Structure 1
Amino acid sequence: MSGTSWAEPAALGTQVAVFNSFAILGILLLTLIVATAHFSAKVHRNELWFRHLIAWIIYDVAFILLLGRQEDAVLPFGLCVFQASLIYAVPTYATLSAFSFVADLYIRLSSIVLGKRKIRPALNKFLVNMPFFVLLGVFTEALVLVQDPSAVGFEQRHLYCHVTTTTQSLISGGIIVATGLVIFPLEICIAIMMYRNWRPFRGYSGHRIFLTTFIRVVLFTIISMLGVGLSSLSIGSPTAPKPYWARLIFTIIPVVAAITFGSQEDIMRSWIFWREPPPADDEDDDVCHGIESGPTF
């Protein structure tokens, strides 16, 4: 099993510490946001929103499985190949969770401005479960494709384990790119639908929450797709450039997710517990009642 690194020991230790710090920060922030939305009476989010943020928590956890062992010369093969396979799978889980959330926004907006029926239970179940099954599929594929134990080992800076063959990274990167080719046109369709139906959309009591949520989703998907997609294509490729910043992107993006979704007004307001809450907002009350009054985000 390979385990070499060209970096100086001091520089290597600093790079590992920074990488781990961003991963741990992302886990803590995202967990705080999910817990806030779950327990707060004034924050209302649907299942796909929770699934999307939880996907980024799982993504971050995959990168710190070796915490405390990253300076070892050699790792047990089983542990290393498990983490490597999981790292190829978690980017697809996060990006497909984003697709499911955006698809749900599209369907819910259609029900508001076009009077179409709300999302069917079977479709909702598909959007909820599909990213997880793809995660399992990619993880299994990455694991099965490891034929040579010597191809599994630390990446150059001992940040995590990878496989030096290209097949796993190409499959993972291909799924991410394909998801981007679907999710970006879908976001454009949502923007066009809101523009063409602005008056009925403005008449919906929860339009402000929908609009701010949509804008945040668009900005974050652009950042995450570019960052994770480009970085995923270089994982494990012996010929791809391997600058440190390209590796650091992996653990920075979940922090960006936490800032993007955790800075919404209702979540921020729930943290300022020492201030007197504002008068009840009819818009917030309507949002929590579902499709008939408006979608829950």
Structure 2
Amino acid sequence: MPSATAAPVNIVQGTQAELILFLVLNMWPSHLGLPILLAVILFSKKVHRHPTFVNLCVGFIIIGVASSILLYTGKTTGPEPSKMLCLLQASMLYGVPAFASMLALMLVLQMFLVVRATVQKQVSQGPRTVRLYSMIGVPYLALLISILATAIVGAMNPDTVSRNRRFFYCSVHSSILSGSIAGFAAICLFATVVFEVWTLVILYKDWMVVKQPGSKPRISLELSLPLRVMAFGLYVVGALGLSLLSMKAPESPIPDLVIACAATVVILIFGTQPDIMRALCFWRKEPTLDFERNLSSVTPPDVKNYNQA
């Protein structure tokens, strides 16, 4: 007689090719691309990035590894993985919405603080340790809370833990859990949009000052890094928003594939910055850009424009 608590049916209709694509999108940046990018940032004397960006790279490496757990154990297809293994992956991946949204929010927030301080000509008062540690640690706190909540729900209801339900990875079937995670991530995404719009307003007002006859610009018009950060923030908002909707009514594999592209997007947007490209092409001798060093500083620098170190 069939069990009354059989494993949830497969509600994401994916193909073998899509499964391979999902794994490739998670593995190549987390196992190759992002480690190379981090190595350039940490070991090159000419490349400087704020810890929130380093944190972002480390975070997406963790996400990529968590997404690959079933591949490591040879359980991507075939019989269901053990409940313990499945719950391990589900717990980590259910922390991704809160974790990734907080990582993006901290990066956008740091960019906003530096842009505002530069425009307002605020004087640096030295390292702000509490703020820095908070910006680094809060995403991991959100991840830890999500992992513990998922682990508790899954352990209390083992029949809700299944790989079949989400096809690409293990999940826990719980409306309350999914709703709570989606709600928290949505708040973070809303805050990210607010800071991005606020930054655009600041930059637009400064640009209008530049257009005034005889007016001196408060900042230079080198906007490469802010625009890159905002482009990534908008991608995260769209991708995670799509992913959160899929948690409530998951049918198409597209949301999972879109969010799996996030680490690749990080590499394409930030790994192509001029100073990183110069560090990779070390045989080419070119002057460094102080602008990028300015925006990567731990605290807003005491400068009149982006071009001053």
Which range, TM-score by smaller chain? Answer: 0.7 to 0.9
Question: Which whole-Å deviations, capped at 9, do the CAs of 1:215-272 have from their partners, x for residues lacking one?
Answer: 112112212222122213423x5xx142122221231222112111111111122222
State how 1:214-225 maps to structure 2 within 5 Å: 214-225=226-237
Using the size of structure 1 for normalisation, the TM-score is 0.85
| C-alpha deviation, 1:203, in angstroms | 5.5
List per-residue Cα deviations over 1:126-159 (Å, max 9, x = no partner). Answer: 1121111111111111111222211101144642
2:201 is aligned to 192
Structure 1 residues 99 and 117 mapped into 2: Cα distance closer, same or farther (>3 Å)? farther
Count matched residues: 287
Of 117, 126, 134, which aligns to 2:134?
126
Say if 1:149 and 1:216 are closer, same or farther in 2 by CA, change over 3 A: same
Which of 67, 79, 87 is equivalent to 1:73? 79
Report the Cα offset of residue 279 of structure 1.
3.6
Name 1:178's counterpart in structure 2: 187
Aligned to 2:65: 61
Superposed, 1:156-175 pairs within 5 Å as 156=165, 158-175=167-184
Query: TM-score, normalised on structure 2?
Result: 0.82
Match of 2:34 among 30, 37, 43: 30
C-alpha displacement at 1:47, in angstroms? Answer: 0.7
Long gaps (5+) in structure 1: none
Name the CA distance, whole Å, in 1 between partners of 2:106 and 2:294. 23
Contact in 1 for aligned 2:90/2:169 (Cα 8 Å): yes
C-alpha change, 1:244 and 1:273, in structure 2 (3 Å) is same
Aligned-residue offset at 1:40: 1.5
CA distance in 1, matches of 2:17, 2:293: 48
Unpaired runs of at least 5, structure 2 = 1-5
CA deviation profile, 1:22-56 (whole Å, cap 9, x unmatched): 11122121222121111112211111111122212
User: Structure 1 residues 280, 156: CA separation in 2 closer, same or farther (over 3 Å shift)?
Assistant: closer
Matches of 1:289 and 1:4, distance apart in 2:
50
Matched residues in 1 for 2:191 and 2:64: separation?
Answer: 24
RMSD: 2.9
Q: Residues 283 and 100 of structure 1: is their aligned pair in 2 closer, same or farther, counting only changes over 3 Å?
A: closer
2:169 aligned with 1:145, yes or no? no
Give the Cα separation in 1 of the matches to 2:131 and 2:276. Answer: 28
Cα deviations across residues 3-34 of structure 1 (Å, max 9, x unaligned)? 765899xx843332221111112212122212
Alignment of 1:49 with 2:57, yes or no, is no
What amino acid is the match of 1:94?
A: A
Residue 109 of structure 2 aligns with which residue? 103
Q: Using the TM superposition, give the Cα deviation of residue 285 of structure 1 relative to its aligned residue in structure 2, in angstroms.
A: 6.9
